[in-house]
C-alpha cells in the first residue's frame, strides 16, 4: 500500500507536514532552499520588523541537557530586505512560505501586512509571543485576549493572505487566547513559541551564561508542555494548528498530530540531527504509517477532544 505525506494546509497542498519555523535557518533564500531540498514542506522567514534589528549582544545561545536557551532578540534585516529574500526564493521554488512579522502595536502590524501583501508569500504569521525581548517590550501581546483579538481583526481587514497567529505558552489560559484569535478571524494558530524566559549560570565566572541573562527554552524539554497546550487548544477551536516544540524524531511528530496539530514545526532538531532531519523525520513518519497500516496522514487518529 502506497503511503503519502501529502496534506493540505490553508488551501495549499504540501508534500510534507514538516515546517521550518521562524529563525532556524536565518533569512537568506539559500537557507530556505537547503531546507526544502532536505524535505521541509513549508518554510518560515525570521520574524521581520519594520526596521532592521541587530538583536542582543552575545552570547545569545546556550545548550543544556534537554535543550537550548536563546535570546536572539529578533535580529532581522527588516521587512523590505526580508521580503526580497522571500521573493528570490519563490522565483526558484513552489514550496509555500510563511512570512513571520513582529510588532508591538496594531499600527505597525498593519504596515508590515501591507509589505507582505505585495510579496510572493503564501501565508502571514503574526508573532505575538516572543519571550526574549522582555527587556524592551515587556509582556508578550499574546498574554492579552483583547490585544490578540484587536490586532488580528485589524490585520484580517487588509491582509490578502491567510493569517496565522503565533501564540505564547507563557500565559495563564491559552484556550481563551486561542479563542480570541479565532473569533477575530485568524485562519490558523502557530504554537508553541519558546518557553520561559529562563536562565543558566556559569558557576566559574559567577554570572549568567547569556549576556542578556534570560532566554527562551526550546528543544526536547518543552515537548510535554507543547503537547498539552496544543491538545487543549485543539479541543477548543476549529482552525488548524501548526504545532511545534521539541520535535526531534518521527515519534514526536506523530504525537503532535495526535494532539491536534495539522502540520509540525521542526527547529532545534536541526542542531541535533543536521539539516537532513526533515527527510529523516519524513521517513520515520512513513515507517510508523507502514507499521500501523495508515495510508494517509488523515488516517492517523487524533486524541478524543476534551469536554467543556
What residues are labeled active site?
A: 130
Which spans in 78-208 are helix H?
Answer: 79-90, 106-117, 134-137, 145-158, 174-183
Provide CB contacts within 8 A for 206, sequence distance 6+.
none
Map residue 41 onto helix, strand or coil. Answer: coil
CB 234 within 8 A of CB 302: yes
CB 125 within 8 A of CB 103: no
Q: Residue written as cell 503511503?
A: 3
CB 213 within 8 A of CB 268: no
Cα 122 from Cα 99, distance rounded (Å): 8
Give the bridge partners for 42, in sequence order.
Answer: 19
Amino acid at each position: 500500500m502506497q503511503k503519502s505525506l501529502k496534506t493540505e494546509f490553508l488551501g495549499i497542498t504540501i508534500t510534507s507536514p514538516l515546517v521550518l519555523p521562524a529563525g532556524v535557518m536565518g533569512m537568506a533564500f539559500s537557507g530556505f532552499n537547503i531546507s526544502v531540498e532536505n524535505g521541509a514542506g513549508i518554510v518560515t522567514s525570521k520574524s521581520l520588523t519594520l526596521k532592521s534589528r541587530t538583536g542582543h549582544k552575545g552570547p545569545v545561545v546556550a545548550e543544556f541537557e534537554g535543550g537550548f536557551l536563546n535570546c536572539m532578540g529578533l535580529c532581522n534585516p527588516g521587512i523590505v530586505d526580508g521580503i526580497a529574500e522571500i521573493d528570490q526564493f519563490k522565483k526558484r521554488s513552489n514550496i509555500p512560505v510563511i512570512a513571520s512579522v513582529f510588532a508591538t502595536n496594531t499600527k505597525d502590524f498593519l504596515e508590515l501586512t501591507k509589505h507582505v501583501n505585495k510579496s510572493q508569500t503564501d501565508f502571514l504569521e503574526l508573532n505575538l509571543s516572543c519571550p526574549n525581548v522582555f527587556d524592551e517590550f515587556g509582556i508578550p501581546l499574546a498574554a492579552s485576549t483583547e490585544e490578540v483579538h484587536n490586532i488580528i481583526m485589524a490585520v484580517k481587514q487588509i491582509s490578502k493572505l491567510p493569517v496565522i497567529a503565533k501564540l505564547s505558552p507563557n500565559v495563564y489560559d491559552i484556550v481563551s487566547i486561542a479563542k480570541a484569535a479565532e473569533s477575530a478571524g485568524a485562519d490558523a494558530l502557530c504554537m508553541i513559541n519558546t518557553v520561559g524566559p529562563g536562565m543558566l549560570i556559569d558557576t566559574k565566572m559567577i554570572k549568567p551564561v547569556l549576556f542578556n541573562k534570560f532566554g527562551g527554552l526550546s528543544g526536547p524539554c518543552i515537548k510535554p508542555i507543547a503537547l498539552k497546550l496544543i491538545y487543549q487548544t485543539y479541543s477548543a477551536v476549529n482552525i488548524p494548528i501548526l504545532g511545534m516544540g521539541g520535535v526531534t524524531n518521527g515519534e514526536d511528530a506523530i504525537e503532535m498530530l495526535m494532539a491536534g496539530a495539522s502540520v509540525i514545526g521542526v527547529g532545534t532538531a536541526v542542531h541535533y540531527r543536521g539539516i537532513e532531519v526533515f527527510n529523516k523525520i519524513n521517513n520515520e513518519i512513513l515507517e510508523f504509517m507502514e507499521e500501523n497500516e495508515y495510508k494517509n496522514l488523515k488516517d492517523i487518529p487524533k486524541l478524543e477532544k476534551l469536554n467543556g
